[in-house]
Amino acid sequence: MKCITPELVLQVEGIIKEAGELLCSYFTKTVERNVKSDGSFATEADIASEKFLIQKLAPLIKDAGFIAEESGEKKAPVYNWVIDPLDGTTNFAQGLPYFCISVALTKNDIPLFGVIYQPLLKEYFYALQGCGAFLNGKKIAVSNRKKIDESIVIVATPYVKSKEFFKSMNSVEHKVYTFRTFGAAALDQAYCAAGRADIVMFQDLSWWDVAAGMLIIQEAGGVASTFQKGLITPQYRTFIGGNQDLRDIFLKLI
């Protein structure tokens, strides 16, 4: 990870926290909604945050490309910044305080550095490959819960409803302690990495929804895979993350 220096880590933190301040300047205001083809929508806050992040991150690594939710792909052969400038847009537009910024740096589609920032609470989750996961500088770890009937599960539902996904959920819903659906998949993963939930599950979301969160879960001592126990790649369809014992139990059921 020669490209990731302590100086770069601090620079990225400053940039993302500035983007968080930008988002907060729009929060609780009436924002125009531009509906997208997948049924979701973007606001002026999404677009402003993404423009700011790309402008500030671009000089940090020469020849790095961008895979960003609102402006699309300008992908480079090796290094890419993967950006969700506002995860939880619906919550944000409704004045619900559950949203975040998610940014990952990948090499050949493998996350090396991931950040998830909740600007209202000023919670800065981050991970470096092989170096652990942290929240505001303190190390975090996934839960060690092993019993499914005690498990707290966060589920992110896709805008395009999937019978297949809800069938999978029905196979476990009567066995878990409780389900929660908060509306920002990246922040859900950060919460799981910090042990605030035991498992996070979803289907048919995008690469920018998971590139940072999967690394943070893994570096917090957990695992992230597809429902078939496969690797998470930009082409993934299903996602489950958390501690390995519970993940394996869930995979047998779904």
Residues of the chain within CATH 3.40.190.80 domain(s) are 148-253
* CATH dotted code for 148-253: 3.40.190.80
How far apart CA 176 and CA 172 sit, in angstroms, is 7
| CATH level 2 (architecture), domain 6-139 | 2-Layer Sandwich (3.30)
- Mean pLDDT across 184-197: 98
How far apart CA 75 and CA 66 sit, in angstroms, is 5
Instruction: Supply the pLDDT for residue 236.
Output: 96
- Mean pLDDT across 18-25: 96
pLDDT at 35 over 70: no
The predicted-structure confidence for 52-65, as pLDDT tens digits, reads as follows 999 999 999 989 99
Cβ burial of 129 (10 Å; 0-12, 13-18, 19+) is middle
How far apart CA 118 and CA 96 sit, in angstroms, is 13
The predicted-structure confidence for 122-141, as pLDDT tens digits, reads as follows 999 999 999 999 999 999 99
184: left (phi over 0), alpha (psi -120 to 50) or beta: beta
Instruction: Supply the pLDDT for residue 161.
Output: 62
Give, rounded to a whole angstrom, the gap between the first and last alpha carbons of the chain.
36
Mean pLDDT over all residues of the chain? 92
pLDDT at 81 over 90: yes
- Mean pLDDT across 148-165: 81
The predicted-structure confidence for 197-216, as pLDDT tens digits, reads as follows 999 999 989 999 999 999 99
Nearest to 114 by CA among 210, 2, 198, 254: 210
Residues of the chain within CATH 3.30.540.10 domain(s) are 6-139
CA distances from 177 to 20, 82, 211, 223 (A): 34, 34, 28, 21
